[in-house]
A and B are shown apart, each in its own frame.
Chain A
Amino acid sequence: MADRVYQRIVASRLRGRLAYPTSFVLDVLGQAIGQMIELIVILVLFTTVSSLGGFRPDEVMLIYGMASIAFGLAHVTAGQVEQLPEYIRTGEFDVMLLRPLNTLAQVLTADVELRRLGRLLVGACVMAWAVGHVDVEWTPLHVLIAVLAPIFGALILGSIWVATNAISFWLVDAREFANAFTYGSNFSTAYPITMFGPWLRGFMCFAVPSAFVAYFPTLALLDRPDPLGLPEALRYASPLAAAAAILVAGLIWRSGIRHYQGTGS
C-alpha cells in the first residue's frame, strides 16, 4: 500500500519537472558543470605534479568517478532534505507530520530533482574513462566492487545529507552548516585521503565516513597496499560503514523530530 503511494508521488513529481524542457536541460547542464569543477581542479593540479597523494592521474580519476556517481545518486534521492529549513519555516513540515506516512520519506519525495542526474552523468563518463585506463585485473570480485561501491557510497553520502540537515530541527537556517558536510564530502571523496593531514583523515574515515565512498574501494580495485598502512579489511568495509551511517542518520532524524516544536506561527 505505502509503496504504491510513493510510486505515485514520485511519478507525479517527475511529470511536473519535465513540463519545462528547456529549463530542465539548462539545469542538468548546470549540475554537470558544477560537478566538473572539481575535475577541472584535479586536471589543473596534474599540470604541475605527476601524482596526487601517491596516486597517478588515471587512479585519481577512478576515485573521482566513483565518488561522483555516488554523490549524484545521493543527491537525487536524498538531496531534497536540504529544503527542510524551508519546509519548517513555511509550516509545510507540520502538514507532513499529520499525514500517516513517514516524515523523512515525505521530505525526500516532496520534489524529485532529476536535474541532479547531471552530476551522476559526469561521474559515469569519468569512471568509464578511468576503467579503460587503470591497471586493474577484472576478476569477478573487482567487478562486483566497482558496481557496488557507488551504491554503498550513495548510502553513506545520503546518510550524511539526512544527518546534517536534521540540524535544522535545532538551528534556524542551518542549511549552510549541512552544506559544509554534504558538498564538502563531494569534494573530499574525490581525492585520495593521503592528500589530507592526519586530523582531516581521521575525521573522514571515522566521523564522516567519506573515505569509504571511493578511496577504500579504489584501493581494493587497484590491489595495492594502503600507503597509510591502514588495515586491509577497511577496503571491503564500505557496506558496514553504510549501515552504520544509516543507523546514525536515522537516530539523529528521530531525535530531531522529537525535539521539533514548530515555528509557532
Chain B
Amino acid sequence: MSAPYPQLVRAGFRRYASYRQAAFAGLTANVVFGFLRAAVLVAVLAQQGTVAGYDIPTAVTYVWLGQGLLSVVQLWPELEFSKRIRSGDVVIDLGRPWDLTAAMLATDLGRAGHAMVVRFIPPMLLGIVFFPFRWPQRPVTWLLFLVSIVLAVVVSFTIRFMLSATAFWMLDAHGVLSVWGAVSGIVVGLIVPLAWFPQWAQAVLAWTPFPAIMQSPIDVFTERGDVVALLGHAAIWSVLLFAACKLMLRAGAKKLVVQGG
C-alpha cells in the first residue's frame, strides 16, 4: 500500500478550490491592505531615499510579496483541529494508518499550493502593474524562492499545529490564539520589514523561527542577505518544529480518555 500523503496534498488543493467567493473576498482584503501598506512605506522612502537597503521598488515588492504570501503560509490557525481535540474526534484521526502530523502537513501543502495560484499571483500582478517592481536579478532566485516558500509553509504549519494542540491541555485556547493573532504579523515581518527594526529586536528575532515564515522568502526573492543562511535557518527550524509537533501530539494523545466500548 502506498503512502497516502501525495493524495492528501491533492485533496487539500481541491478542497480549497471549492470556496471561490471566499477566495475573492480574501483577495480584496490583500489588495486593499497592499495599497495602504505600500503607500505608507513609499511616503517614508520618498523623504528618506533608502532605509536599511530598501529603495521604493524593493519596499513595494516587499509589500506585495507579503500580501500574496499571507494566505499561502496562513498565519492564523483554523479552529478545526482544536475543535476535533476538544470533541474527542481526534481519536479517529489518530487511529488511521498514517502519521497524523505528516498527513495534516500534506493537506496543508495542498492548501498552500492552491493559495499560490489564487491568492499569490493576483496581488503580485497588481503590484507589478501599478508600482515599480523589483525582479530577481539571477534566474536561480526563482527556484530558491520556491524552496523558501515550501519551508515557510512548513514552519507556519508547525506553529499553527502546536497552537491548536494546546487544546489537549487547555479548555479554552482562545487567549493564546488571540495573542498570537496580534503579534504574528509583526514578528514574521509582514507589516514592516524586519530590517527596519532596532538592532536588538532584529537580534532577538533572528533566534526565533518567525522570520522564516515571511521575511525570509521575501529576502530570497529580493536577493537580500545570504541565501544559504536564510534557507538553512528555515530548514533547521522546519525539522525541529516538526519533531516538536510529533512529541506534542504524542504527549497530548496520552491525555485522551476514550469512553464507551
Contact = CB atoms under 8 A, between A and B. Distances in A.
Interface of A: 20, 22-23, 25-27, 29-31, 33-34, 36-37, 40-41, 44-45, 47-49, 51-53, 115, 171-181, 184, 187-188, 191, 195-197, 200
A31 B21 CA distance: 28
Interface stretch (B32-40, B93-101, B236-244): B32-40
A56 B103 CA distance: 53
B172 interface: yes
A47 B25 contact: no
18 contacts: A23-B172, A27-B175, A30-B177, A37-B182, A37-B183, A45-B40, A45-B44, A45-B192, A172-B21, A174-B25, A176-B26, A177-B26, A177-B29, A184-B33, A188-B36, A195-B40, A196-B43, A200-B39
Interface in B11-58: 19, 21-22, 24-26, 28-29, 31-33, 35-36, 39-40, 43-44, 47-48, 51
B64 to A, nearest CB: 15
Contacts of A49: 44, 47-48
B33 to A, nearest CB: 6
A178 B24 CA distance: 12
Nearest to A20: B172
Contact of B19 (A30, A173, A177, A181): A173
B182 A31 contact: yes
Interface of B: 19, 21-22, 24-26, 28-29, 31-33, 35-36, 39-40, 43-44, 47-48, 51, 172, 174-179, 181-183, 185-186, 191-192, 196-198
B43 A195 contact: yes
A176 B176 contact: no
A176 B39 contact: no
A155 to B, nearest CB: 22
B191 A48 contact: no
B198 A47 contact: yes
The 9 A-B pairs of least Cβ separation, nearest first, read A26-B175, A30-B178, A177-B25, A34-B182, A33-B182, A180-B29, A180-B32, A173-B22, A195-B43
B178 A176 contact: no
B178 A181 contact: no
Contacts of B31: 180
A197 B181 CA distance: 30
Chain B residues touching A, majority SS: helix
Contacts, number: 114
Contacts of A195: 39-40, 43
A23 B175 contact: yes
A44 B86 CA distance: 40
A120 to B, nearest CB: 15
A30 B40 contact: no
A178 B28 CA distance: 9
Nearest to B33: A184
Contact of B36 (A26, A51, A173, A196): A196
Given A27-B174, A37-B191, A177-B25, 17 more contacts: A23-B175, A26-B179, A29-B178, A30-B178, A33-B182, A33-B183, A34-B178, A37-B186, A41-B192, A45-B44, A49-B47, A53-B43, A173-B22, A176-B29, A180-B33, A195-B39, A200-B35
B36 A184 contact: yes
Given A48-B51, A174-B21, A180 B28 contact: yes
A33 B178 CA distance: 9
B203 to A, nearest CB: 15
Contact of A52 (B22, B44, B172, B192): B44
A187 B174 CA distance: 24
A215 to B, nearest CB: 14
Given A47-B198, A173-B22, A200 B36 contact: yes
B44 to A, nearest CB: 5
A260 to B, nearest CB: 16
Contact of B178 (A26, A37, A180): A26
A24 B77 CA distance: 20
A179 B29 contact: yes
Given A49-B44, A180-B29, A196-B43, A26 B176 contact: yes
B39 A196 contact: yes
B43 A52 contact: yes
A180 B70 CA distance: 14
A174 B48 CA distance: 39
Contacts of B44: 45, 48-49, 52
Contacts of A191: 40
Nearest to B201: A44
Contacts of B32: 180-181, 184
A192 B31 CA distance: 21
B48 A30 contact: no
Most chain B CB neighbours (cut-off 10 Å) among A26, A172, A200: A26
A174 B183 CA distance: 25
Contacts of B35: 200
